[in-house]
Structure 1
Amino acid sequence: MLENKREHLAKFQSLIALAVMLIAMSFLSDSFFTPENGLNILRQISVNLSLSIGMTLIILTGGIDLSVGAILALSGAVAAGLLKNGIMLEPLGVKLEFTVFGAIVSGLLVGSAAGLFNGVAVTRFKLPPFVATLGMFSIARGLTMLWTGGFPVTGLGSSFGSIGTGVFLQIPVPVWITGALVGVFVLLTRTTRFGRHVYAVGGNERASLLTGLPVDRIKIAVYTLGGLLAGVAGLIVTARLDSAQPNAGLGYELDSIAAVVIGGTSLSGGRGSVMGTVLGCLIIGVLNNSLFLLNVSPFWQQVVKGFVILAAVAVDRMSQRDR
C-alpha cells in the first residue's frame, strides 16, 4: 500500500511542484497571473522546450548531449549568414542567394548533421556520450566563430523575424512551433515502433541487442533528432533577436538537462516522457519568471536553479533505489 502511494507520488511530483509554485506566486505577486505574463512564460520556454524534447529522447536511450547550445548557435548563424549574404562558389564564380525558406532548411540541415556526427561518434567509434558531445560542443562553437568572424549577423528582415516574434491568433509563433513539436514527439514515443525501441534501448541495451533491435541505428536517429531540434531552437532565437550571436546558447545545455530530469526522465535511461519534460520546462520557466518578478538577483537565480536540479536528481536516485 505504501509502495503504491510512493509510485503515485513519484508520477505526479512535477505537477505537484508546479502547482505549489503557482499558488505561492499568486500571493507573492499581483502581476504573475495575467494573460501577458502567461504568454511571456510560454514564449520564454519555447527555446528550452525544443532543446529538451530532443534531450529527452537522448537521455531515454541512456545518453547525454552537452552540445545542444553550441549546435543552436551554429544553426542560427548559418541560416542568418546564408539569408543575409548568400554563399560564393569561388571555382564557378557564382554567388548563391537564399530565400527565407532556403535559409531555414539550411539551418535545420546543419543541426541534423551535427547531431548525426554525435550519433556516429557514440555508436561507431564507441565514445562515451559525454566525451563525444563535449567534442561537438567545441567544434560547433569554433565553426560558429569562423562562420561569423566573431561578429553578429544582423538585419535579417521581417519575414524571417516572424518565426521568433510573430503572433498568430494572439499566441506567439514560437509557442505554436513548440506545441506542434510536442504533439509530434508525444505520438512518436507513445504510438510508434521507434518510440518503443527507444525505451527498450534505454531500459536494457544488452537485452535489446540480443532481441535483434538495431541499437546503433536507434541511437544515431535520436542524436540526429536532437541536433534537428537544436536547429529549430537556433532559428527561433536568431529570429527573435533579429541577429545571430556567435555566443548564443551558452549554458542552454544545463537548462535542457534540468528540464528533462525535473520532468521525471531517469538519467539512467528507459523511463520518462515528453509530457514530463513539458512540465519540467514549465517549472523552470515559472521559476525564472517568479524570481525576476520578485527582483531576485540573476546570480541568486543561478544558485536557486542549481539546488532545484540537485533536488530533482536526488529524487530520481531515491526512486531508483526504492525500485
Structure 2
Amino acid sequence: MGDHLPEITNNSSENSDRITTHAQSIQPSKLSILLSILNFGPSLILLLLIAMLSLTSPYFLTPRNISNILAQTAVISVVAMGQQLVILTRGIDLSVGSNLALASVLGALSFHAGAPAALVIAVMIVSGAAVGAVNGGFYVFGRLPHPFIITLATLSIAKGLALQLAEGRAIPGMPPEISALGTDALGGLPGSVFVVLAVAAAFFVVTRTMVWGRWIYAVGGRPDAALRMGIPVSWVLVSTYVVSGTCAGIGAVILAGRTDAGSPLFGNLLELDTIAAVIIGGASFLGGRGHLGNALIGALMIGVIRNALNLLNVNIFFQLIVIGVVIVIAVEGDVLRNRLEGRVRVLQAGKQS
C-alpha cells in the first residue's frame, strides 16, 4: 500500500493579514525580536500568571495548593504529550478521553477478576495502545481524508464499550500500588507527578536522540519530501496514534489511582483539554514544529487558570469562556508566528543573494 500523506492547510484571519502587512514594514531585527517574543510567549505568560496570582491570593503559592495543581494537571500533561506527537504530523486524536475511560474500566474489571497490580496496569496501557493502533491503521491504510473521522468514530465506540462493560456506573477498587499514585506523596509532590516526569523523560530521549523523532518532524513539516527521502511515512503516522493511545492508557492509571476506581465517565472533554494544552503551549496545527515543553506548559497553564478562578470564586461556567478565549489567542499567535517566520526567511534570503 502507498504512503498516505496528511493534507496541508493554512487558513488565517483578516486580522492576522493586517498584522502581517504591518510587520512587513518593520526592520528585520525587530521582526526577529517579535518572533522570539511569540516563541517564548507561553512560558512568559505562565510566569506572569503565577506572579499575579501569588499577589492576588495568599493561598496560591502554598505547598498544598501547588501539589493540588500538579495532581490535577497530571492526566492532561501525560495525554497532551501523546496528542502533541499527533499534532506534529498535522493530525488530531479526538478519542483520548473515551480511550482513557475504556482503559480504566478494563483495569477495574481485571482487578476484580483477581489480576495483580502489574497486570492491571498492563491492561490499561495495552487497551489505550490498541485503540491508538485502530486510529492510526484506519486513517493511514484505510486512506481516510483526515484523522478527525476515525478518531471521532472511536470516541463513540470506546465510550459505548466502557458504558456497556461497566453497566453505566463506576467500578470501585484498584490495587494499592495504583491507589498510591493518588494518596502517597514524596517530598511534598504527589506520586502522579513522578509518572509525568518519567513519561516526559522517555519522550525527550525518543524525540531528541532517536531517528524516529526526527522522522516525526520531517513528516509533519514536509510530508512529500519525507516520502522522497525514503522515510516510512505511513508507519510513522500509525506510530504517533499508538503512542497517543498509550498515553491515554497511562492517564487512565493515574486517574484510577486518584479515584480508586474505573469509570466510563472518566475523560469527558479530555480531548479538548489536551488539544488546548498543546496549542496554548505554543505548538502549531500546521505540523512539524513544537517540543515537549509545549504540552507541559499548556497543561500547567490550564491548571493554573482553573485553580486561580476557583480560588477567586469565579463561576465555573466562566472558566470555559476563559479557556476558549486563551485558545483563540494562542491560535492567532500561531498564525502570526508562521507569517513572521516566512517574512524573516525572505529577508534573510534577500541579504544572502
User: TM-score band (shorter)?
Assistant: over 0.9
Pairing 1:19-98 to 2, within 5 Å after superposition: 19-84=47-112, 86=113, 97-98=114-115
Q: CA deviation at 1:157?
A: 4.5
Q: Which residue of 2 aligns with 1:314?
A: 332
2:221 to 203, 219, 225: 203
**What CA deviation, in whole Å up to 9, does each residue of 1:113-140 have, x standing for no partner?**
0000000011101221111100110110
Does the CA-based 8 Å contact 1:197-1:218 persist in structure 2? yes
Pairing 1:1-323 to 2, within 5 Å after superposition: 1-84=29-112, 86=113, 97-127=114-144, 128-322=146-340, 323=342
Q: Which residue of 1 aligns with 2:24?
A: none
AA of the residue aligned to 2:233: V
TM-score normalised by L of structure 1: 0.94
AA of the residue aligned to 1:108: I
Does the CA-based 8 Å contact 1:186-1:275 persist in structure 2? no
Q: Supply the distance in 1 between the matched residues of 2:162 and 2:295 (Cα, whole angstroms).
A: 29
Q: Supply the distance in 1 between the matched residues of 2:126 and 2:163 (Cα, whole angstroms).
A: 19
Q: How many residues align?
A: 312
Does the CA-based 8 Å contact 2:78-2:196 persist in structure 1? yes
SS at match of 1:270: coil
Q: Percent of counterpart pairs with the same letter?
A: 36
Q: Whose radius of gyration is greater, 1 or 2?
A: 2
Q: CA deviation at 1:168?
A: 2.7
Does the CA-based 8 Å contact 1:44-1:285 persist in structure 2? yes
Q: Supply the distance in 2 between the matched residues of 1:189 and 1:36 (Cα, whole angstroms).
A: 34
Q: CA deviation at 1:236?
A: 1.0
AA of the residue aligned to 2:34: R
Q: Supply the distance in 1 between the matched residues of 2:123 and 2:300 (Cα, whole angstroms).
A: 30
Does the CA-based 8 Å contact 2:74-2:193 persist in structure 1? yes
Q: CA deviation at 1:261?
A: 0.4
TM-score normalised by L of structure 2: 0.86
Q: CA deviation at 1:105?
A: 0.4
Does the CA-based 8 Å contact 2:67-2:188 persist in structure 1? no
Q: Supply the distance in 2 between the matched residues of 1:10 and 1:183 (Cα, whole angstroms).
A: 26
**What CA deviation, in whole Å up to 9, does each residue of 1:134-192 have, x standing for no partner?**
01101100110111111210133433311333223332110000011111102211221
**What CA deviation, in whole Å up to 9, does each residue of 1:38-82 have, x standing for no partner?**
111111110000110000100001100000000010111100111
Where in structure 2 are there 5+ consecutive unaligned residues? 1-28, 343-353
AA of the residue aligned to 2:335: R
- My pick for the range that moved more, 152-161 or 302-311, is 152-161
Where in structure 1 are there 5+ consecutive unaligned residues? 87-96
Q: Supply the distance in 1 between the matched residues of 2:42 and 2:107 (Cα, whole angstroms).
A: 36
SS at match of 2:288: coil
Does the CA-based 8 Å contact 2:80-2:295 persist in structure 1? yes
AA of the residue aligned to 2:128: G
Does the CA-based 8 Å contact 1:14-1:279 persist in structure 2? yes
AA of the residue aligned to 1:28: T
- My pick for the range that moved more, 155-164 or 208-217, is 155-164
Q: Supply the distance in 2 between the matched residues of 1:17 and 1:176 (Cα, whole angstroms).
A: 25
Q: Supply the distance in 1 between the matched residues of 2:178 and 2:207 (Cα, whole angstroms).
A: 31
- My pick for the range that moved more, 49-58 or 153-162, is 153-162
Q: Which residue of 2 aligns with 1:94?
A: none
AA of the residue aligned to 1:106: V
**What CA deviation, in whole Å up to 9, does each residue of 1:6-49 have, x standing for no partner?**
22112210111111111211221011111111111111110000
Does the CA-based 8 Å contact 2:116-2:175 persist in structure 1? no
AA of the residue aligned to 2:215: H
SS at match of 1:64: coil
Q: Supply the distance in 1 between the matched residues of 2:143 and 2:35 (Cα, whole angstroms).
A: 35
AA of the residue aligned to 1:167: A
